[in-house]
């Protein structure tokens, strides 16, 4: 585990997630509480990634925040500290092809199952960021803005984000035209320009609406059902 982490920027010092939700579940007798968060849902390319974390009750790692509040350098510096501190942690992915074939809702369920199956412990309760329970089984508690409020979810968000970002930086070597090291597969003007020039790569999700706008005569757009409502139109 790294010995140091960067000083917190002033804007983040009063925004620490806590253990309020975890403690309430522990006090109710739920021994294994897992924080879960996802990244990559809105990306045009790469996997949908879900992190799962069990935090210890008696030790803290400070400076953990929602991954979206941190810079890439800050997240990378915290990754080893968090992964070494957790009682258990794991990552699950759904590939771009699975996102297309299954729809995003089912892809989330698949990635969540993979993350929880890889955790090595049986969850008594799961804390989820947002309003939608994509874990199922009657064990999940959804928390709006959970990645800013729950330490378990915030830790999961950092581990998931750093893992996925590393994957996309590696993919930048295989697909140099798309600038994945910079955009991590998310929408941006340079990414859109690359799609117009080269068409989609093998790790692009071809269900997105941008497939209809490409000037090249390539593969057709895929249109999977999505019971949570389409994200592609």
Residue ranges of domains in the chain: 10-171, 174-213
Reported confidence tier of residue 61, pLDDT bands at 50, 70, 90? confident
Q: What is the pLDDT of residues 191-211, one digit of tens each?
A: 999 999 998 999 999 998 888
Picking from 95, 124, 119, the residue whose alpha carbon sits closest to that of residue 26 is: 124
Task: Find the radius of gyration of the CA atoms of the chain.
Answer: 18
Tens of pLDDT along 147-197?
999 999 999 999 999 999 999 999 999 999 999 999 999 999 999 999 999
- What is the DSSP track for 161-220? HHHHHHHHHHHHHHSGGG-HHHHTT---HHHHHHHHHH---TTB-TTSTHHHH-SS--PP
**CA 144/CA 123 separation, integer angstroms:** 21
Q: What pLDDT was estimated at residue 230?
A: 42
Q: Where are the strands (E) in 40-85, listed by range?
A: 48-54
What pLDDT score was predicted for residue 231? Answer: 41
Percentage above 70 pLDDT, the chain: 88
What confidence score (pLDDT) does residue 105 get?
Answer: 94
- Rounded to whole angstroms, how far apart are CA atoms 198 and 178? 9
The CATH number of 10-171 is 3.30.420.10
- Please tell me the predicted confidence (pLDDT) of residue 5: 64
In the structure, what pLDDT confidence band is assigned to residue 76 with cuts at 50, 70 and 90? very high
CA-nearest of 114, 163, 158 to 134 is 114
Q: What is the pTM of this model?
A: 0.88
């Amino acid at each position: 585990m790294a010995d140091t982490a960067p000083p917190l920027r002033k804007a983040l010092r009063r925004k620490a997630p806590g253990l309020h939700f975890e403690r309430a579940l522990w006090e109710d007798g739920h021994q294994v509480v897992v924080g879960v968060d996802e990244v990559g849902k809105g990306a045009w390319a790469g996997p949908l990634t879900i992190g799962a974390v069990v935090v210890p009750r008696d030790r803290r790692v400070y400076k953990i925040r929602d991954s979206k509040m941190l810079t890439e350098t800050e997240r990378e510096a915290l990754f080893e500290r968090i992964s070494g501190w957790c009682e258990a942690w794991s990552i699950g992915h759904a590939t771009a092809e699975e996102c297309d074939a299954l729809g995003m809702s089912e892809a989330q369920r698949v990635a969540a199952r993979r993350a929880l199956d890889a955790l090595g412990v049986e969850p008594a309760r799961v804390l989820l960021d947002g309003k939608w329970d994509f874990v199922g089984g009657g064990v999940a508690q959804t928390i709006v803005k959970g990645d800013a409020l729950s330490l378990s979810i915030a830790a999961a968000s950092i581990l998931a984000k750093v893992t996925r970002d590393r994957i996309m930086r590696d993919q930048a070597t295989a697909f140099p035209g798309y600038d994945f090291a910079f955009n991590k597969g998310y929408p941006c003007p340079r990414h859109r320009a690359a799609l117009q020039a080269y068409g989609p790569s093998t790790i692009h999700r071809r269900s997105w609406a941008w497939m209809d706008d490409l000037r090249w005569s390539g593969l057709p757009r895929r249109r999977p059902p999505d019971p949570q409502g389409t994200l592609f139109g």
